[in-house]
């Protein structure tokens, strides 16, 4: 079925802006400082979790002023829907993680299944230490494991379906320059 672009446009028009661009950019700069303090001497291997992690990764990486290697992995649970299902690996890391300090960068920690599975994979692949950075930590009582938290968090966000800064609504608006909540979700 062709995408109803009028619907996609309406979602943007009716959305609530939760975190405007200036607030998000300030949060990214703070996270960059925290990551630098922890990893500047670690020669880390940094993974962007595609697709959602793309914009946060790009903006964060340009503010990390120390030697690192960068790559990507792709694990998806939502597959352009607004509720999650089974984790599906589209691309596993191709470089060796053995004895490396690894930093995983993703857009959002919601229930946590995605990030937990990625961390678990990295540890089983021989990483020496695995750190995680997320732009948003969504606050609710449905966490897969309440004791699992990201090491670096940009912003806390309310329990709504959000898009922008890499996060999609039905595959659209990853390019929105702010963090928005879909009306009614």
Ligand X SMILES: O=P(O)(O)OC[C@H]1O[C@H](OP(=O)(O)OP(=O)(O)O)[C@H](O)[C@@H]1O
Q: What is the binding site for ligand GUN (CB under 6 A)? A: 78, 108, 110, 161-163, 167-168
- Are 70 and 46 within 8 A, CB to CB? yes
Q: Give the C-alpha distances (Å, rounded to integers) separating 136 from 92, 139, 166, 172.
A: 23, 9, 11, 18
Please say whether the beta carbons of 146 and 127 come within 8 A: no
Q: Distances in Å between the alpha carbon of 165 and those of 56, 128, 169, 179? A: 7, 30, 11, 6
Choose from ligand X, ligand GUN, none: what does 163 bind? Cβ within 5-8 Å by kind.
ligand GUN
Longest Cα separation, the chain: 51
Q: Which does 106 bind (CB under 5 to 8 A by kind): ligand GUN, ligand X, none?
A: ligand X
Any contact of residue 168 with ligand X (CB under 6 A)? yes
Stretch that binds ligand X, among 2-10, 49-57, 124-132, 176-184 (CB under 6 A): 49-57
In the region spanning residues 131 to 160, those forming contacts with ligand X, defined by CB under 6 A, are none
Q: Is 107 in the site for ligand X (CB under 6 A)?
A: yes
Least distance to ligand X, CB of residue 49, Å: 5
Which residues are at the interface with ligand X (CB under 6 A)?
49, 51-52, 76-78, 84, 106-115, 168
């Amino acid at each position: 079925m062709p995408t109803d672009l009028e619907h996609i446009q309406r979602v943007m028009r009716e959305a609530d802006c939760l975190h405007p661009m200036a607030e998000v950019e300030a949060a990214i700069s703070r996270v960059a400082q925290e990551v630098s303090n922890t990893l500047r001497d670690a020669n880390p291997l940094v993974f962007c979790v595609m697709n959602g992690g793309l914009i946060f990764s790009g903006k964060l990486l340009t503010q990390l002023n120390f030697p690192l290697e960068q790559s990507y992995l792709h694990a998806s649970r939502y597959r352009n829907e607004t509720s999650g299902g089974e984790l599906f690996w589209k691309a596993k890391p191709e470089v060796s993680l053995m004895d490396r300090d690894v930093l995983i960068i993703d857009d959002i920690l919601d229930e946590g299944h995605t990030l937990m599975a990625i961390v678990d994979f990295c540890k089983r692949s021989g990483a020496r230490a695995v750190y995680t950075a997320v732009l948003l930590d969504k606050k609710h009582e449905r966490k897969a494991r309440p004791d699992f938290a990201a090491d670096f968090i940009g912003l806390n966000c309310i329990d709504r379906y959000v898009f922008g800064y890499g996060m999609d609504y039905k595959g659209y608006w990853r390019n929105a320059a702010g963090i928005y909540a879909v009306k009614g979700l």
